[in-house]
A and B are shown apart, each in its own frame.
Chain A
């Protein structure tokens, strides 16, 4: 049953992926309109089915099959066959044979180009159909009888003249509107306004951003032509649709994250495509071959390759994770910009226990200057803001003296200085500025250094492997240190005196008054009271979901849902709902658990869990609030979301906040979270997850006026 539904989905995807989509409505509309030319419709569908079956038999499984990547070129081939040739017995024979060729070409090209992260687009179709045309037009009889149609003429002759009054719409609609629809329908080798209208509807449903780019590029191309008169009689539908408009959609919204810059890029592509169309038409006409969407493929692939070669991504971002929806790509990108620091940085902790104060921060006024400006000094203060106990004349009177200094991250000890005397209070050793020091190598070009340590307190020696939190030495008063303090810095080389590096701590608690707040991937400022977060073992254990963990959720109405935790090929962990097929990816970094993305059924319990446990910190302090933001596409207000989609690349007005806090209960504790509209603070959702004895117990959620409650049961 599942396989059948997966097969049907992949067939529909083969249609929608023509417009870089996985939208089923769009897929069905495209399938429907392909039958406006029955021969094309049947040939196209036949080719898709044939390719899907062949790929399955040859075991070319995977996402590329499911998303229709392997079969959409076959679809184009079938449609083109139906558009070009009369149906007869040999038509079927050659269709089957060439479809096989397209499958081979698709797999070869997609694998080859995929290694560089490039798409093959419609190259397999173009190459194979050229072969068909060359073969059919050769002196040897193939038995294919070419149709004569308006479109074909146009395709062959390149820039042609716009004519043909067809039906009511052509009369009723302004010239350019009907041109738009015709151009769109030309992608499916048709020139039908109704087809174009249906396709527009489907594309609008699929993506407002992509649709707006279709319109913009259409207007842009017409305007450009009206100014420079490249095509005195107007642009052909086919090139307008299959090349100009498709390039704009692809470059402006699919392969890049939609933004003002991507829109500009899309517009800039128009004249480039003009050049390609004209040049290639001239070139290929020698062989009497139409260029089809070759300009689209060439412009797209070369520009994309060019963009990937940039040294830094800049503000024009390429789509890293493809969701087959410009909106979703954009919202997910914006949402994850600040949320995925765990994947960007090495996780570093503060190099001490308890709460210390930053007495000199980056670019400090005393010694953190010039090449050594990105360093931190730490000391311990008491409630009276003193750093020492009476009388304060000995290093031993200082709170931080003799306190453990820890490894901030995993690494190898590179260098240890351990022999320097601790200074009497008020004296400095300017000869050996850094005093007793331990340097650890964390990665190539990333070293951490702790200085002014106590004499003979080093517990490690060069070459030792240390783990985060291992004891390195004790805080002391050696080197340029008039009173005991801890100096910490990241640097690029293992040497003492190296230039410092700016690098954030993975997380720490910043304490103000008696209240902690979690800071993540930030650099503490001067005067901040900071400590490593304390981790509640119970919450940590409950969210320690290892691959293979399975759970059954039973709702109050008796519905159940089965979950399993998996790890994908990229090493990302996720929960898969076996019952609904939904999946939610998460990151558990040892201090908190947070979801990164959700795919699938928004009625599933997994979706509710995703909303409720969007970000959970493993700490039971009641006053600690975790704040985060949901991706915009999770908005429940669909009308508003539609409006947002239209302007999304330029302006974001929907903002959905998330807040959670943990509350100790009589038994175990609860994670209370809410979702709210950030503009007016209106609450959209509230939920409670109960944890006891280190495992998830229940979840209850109020959303959209309904209350859902479910209970966990696990076997492992």
Chain B
């Protein structure tokens, strides 16, 4: 046994060193975005809503690094200030979906039986609706706003999370240390919080960071469709939406928001991959 462990541990170790690059890249990129989100207005070179009629559709230059838009606003400043909207939608929806999804998943996975079947049926129903369609439906009820977007994304993220957590908890439920805890007279709530959850935390955190990436995409897509943050407030998706009309005459309008969305999604995915490796029970116990 120990012999085999030596041979198996070796290549894994090297892989984890390589993946740690993911973790550092992901988290430093994300840190940069967080700084922009917090200090957006102070960092931006211009007022994001200030129109400069002399600069309409100006291509990138020394004074406007990413150029100016159709009413002469500085694109870089709008990107920087728009970070807060996208990031807060992503983080809020993931956090709320995390709490609800984990709770539902733990309950249905640990207790099984009727509760499990009821939760699973509802989750399965929600999963049959594509998340964009679901989001559009929610937005049409709640109204097109950052809050509406957040609710929409949250609702669409609960089912996959609940399902994932349920699977992990069902695995854990049959572990000897859970049986041991039961025979030792540990009460159920404590078993869930102290024995089941800590051992499910890694899959949850990994999934959440990957979902955050998806949230950025969905938020941008809804913004693009005009269902998110309303003008004139800057938001990456709606910037892309307006830029579409000028695609042939001023292609630089799409570059900055496109790049920002890509980088943020990339940061979340890198973080997820890096965490996956860090938490892999086979590499570090």
A and B held together in a complex: no
